[in-house]
Amino acid sequence: MGNRYFEVLERASSFLEKQGKEGHSILFVFLERKGWSKTDWLLHLKEEITSEDEQQINEDLEKLIQNYPPQYLLGNSDFYGHRFMVNEHTLIPRPETEELVDRCLKENPNKQMTVVDVGTGTGAIAISLKLDRPNWQVTAIDISEEALQVAKKNAEQLKAEVCFSHGDALKPMKEQKIDILISNPPYISNKEWDLMDESVRTFEPKTALFAENDGLAIYQRLAEEAKKLLNPDGKIYLEIGFQQGETVKQLFQQTFPQKQVKVAQDLSGNDRMVIISSKIEEG
């Protein structure tokens, strides 16, 4: 009898572990490719593996050893209950960003509002907001044409009516007033390069990750441009690097002295969001 599924995947997994990689990533990729649930896996794991499946596992293993992200291998990533197409022109959406989306939805009703997502990437933030709040007019901006192509495809697949604009920060909005600005911008400083995971440094798009001036350049731009465009009771939701809370808070407090500016933590307890709201709110 030939190799069985679990034997091949166990070997592949321990091989990854020995190389200092995530062992379970090979099973994750395999199950996704097959469209198998955990139950399917339990039903099939002792069966003899097909040569096609074994070859696919070996090919995927080669890529994973080189730190190629599983999401790029599969061409998709799940975010806020939706499946998004991803490729090397877009960042892989992160769970922390789901928390930003969640907070924005919880704090704002489904009434007509103009909402702008700067640095949309896969479109994950803009599309998730629009699907949950159909009355919002959502515009998604990115400086990368390639990223916008991916975001547009995601919007089509998920049937979200989002307006996409190519440009830098809030420039495409021209004079149009906005109610909510939301952004997960590039915020990693060049000094933090060595702290980044190798798969991120090697494969994810640099323009979506790094910012000048200790990672603060884009926040300075957004503060300056939002000052002219944000409606008097408008709000801003920003994802930040875990060491940037106080600095970004001060920057926006100076720009918007009448507003409440607070730093919020992610589920891991790290500073992860800065929220600028129209009035002092409870909580």
Q: Residue 215 annotated as binding? A: no
Report the number of secondary-structure helices (H) and strands (E) in the chain. Answer: 12, 9
Q: Residue 119 annotated as binding? A: yes
Q: Residue 23 annotated as binding? A: no
What domain range is 163 assigned to? 77-277
Residue 188 forms part of a structural domain: yes
**Res 110: pLDDT:** 95
At 134, the amino acid letter reads P
Q: Residue 190 annotated as binding? A: no
Cβ–Cβ contacts within 10 Å for residue 28, how many?
15
Q: Residue 187 annotated as binding? A: yes
**Res 283: pLDDT:** 42
CB 238 within 8 A of CB 211: no
Q: Residue 132 annotated as binding? A: no
How many domains is the chain built from? 2
Considering the domain architecture, whether residues 131 and 201 belong to the same structural domain is answered as yes
Q: Residue 120 annotated as binding? A: yes
Q: Residue 70 annotated as binding? A: no
Give the HSE-up count for residue 131: Cα atoms under 13 Å, Cβ half-sphere. Answer: 20
Q: Residue 95 annotated as binding? A: no
**Res 215: pLDDT:** 64
Q: Residue 102 annotated as binding? A: no
pLDDT-based confidence at residue 1 (cuts at 50, 70, 90): low
Residue 282 forms part of a structural domain: no
Residue 15 forms part of a structural domain: yes
pTM above 0.85, yes or no: yes
**Res 208: pLDDT:** 67
> Of 46, 66, 86, at which residue does a domain stop?
66
**Res 280: pLDDT:** 55
pLDDT-based confidence at residue 150 (cuts at 50, 70, 90): very high
pLDDT in tens, 171-196: 999 999 999 999 998 767 777 777 77
pLDDT-based confidence at residue 282 (cuts at 50, 70, 90): very low
Size of the chain in residues:
283
Considering the domain architecture, whether residues 57 and 96 belong to the same structural domain is answered as no
Considering the domain architecture, whether residues 61 and 86 belong to the same structural domain is answered as no
Considering the domain architecture, whether residues 184 and 261 belong to the same structural domain is answered as yes
pLDDT in tens, 201-252: 888 777 766 667 766 888 999 999 999 999 999 999 999 988 899 999 999 9
Considering the domain architecture, whether residues 179 and 138 belong to the same structural domain is answered as yes
Q: Which residues neighbour 97 within 8 Å (Cβ) at sequence distance 6 or greater? A: 79, 124, 125, 184, 239
Residue 49 reports pLDDT greater than 90: yes
Considering the domain architecture, whether residues 17 and 92 belong to the same structural domain is answered as no
